[in-house]
Amino acid sequence: AQKVTQAQTEISVVEKEDVTLDCVYETRDTTYYLFWYKQPPSGELVFLIRRNSFDEQNEISGRYSWNFQKSTSSFNFTITASQVVDSAVYFCALGSNYQLIWGAGTKLIIKP
């Protein structure tokens, strides 16, 4: 079975704190893709990153970084020096045979 688990339903931090959103996935495929999407209060789903299963290099984009570890089937997302504008629901997803399998999402609240 293929599954994505985001165990953190909601996280609340004060602005400028670092925060890590966890994502654990299950798949039997040897080739697969992992994604993070952001859903701000306006409702649209905004693409953040894609990783394929053969590329375990960590990635950094500004204040955002992602840690992909196949050994633990995890693809965690860290925001450094969080800002109020980072407040949103963040979804982790597994790409399998074109369809995306989604985690339940983590609601991130950044307080000023």
Report if residue 52 touches other proteins, rule: CB under 8 A.
yes
Report if residue 70 touches other proteins, rule: CB under 8 A.
no
Report if residue 105 touches other proteins, rule: CB under 8 A.
yes
Report if residue 66 touches other proteins, rule: CB under 8 A.
no
Query: Nearer to other proteins by C-beta: 79 or 92?
Result: 92
Q: Are strands 64-69 and 74-79 parallel, antiparallel or unpaired?
A: antiparallel
3 state DSSP class of 87: coil
Query: Nearer to other proteins by C-beta: 27 or 82?
Result: 27
Distances (CA, A) of 110 to 15, 16, 76: 6, 9, 18
Distances (CA, A) of 35 to 5, 45, 81: 13, 12, 22
Report if residue 37 touches other proteins, rule: CB under 8 A.
yes
Report if residue 24 touches other proteins, rule: CB under 8 A.
no
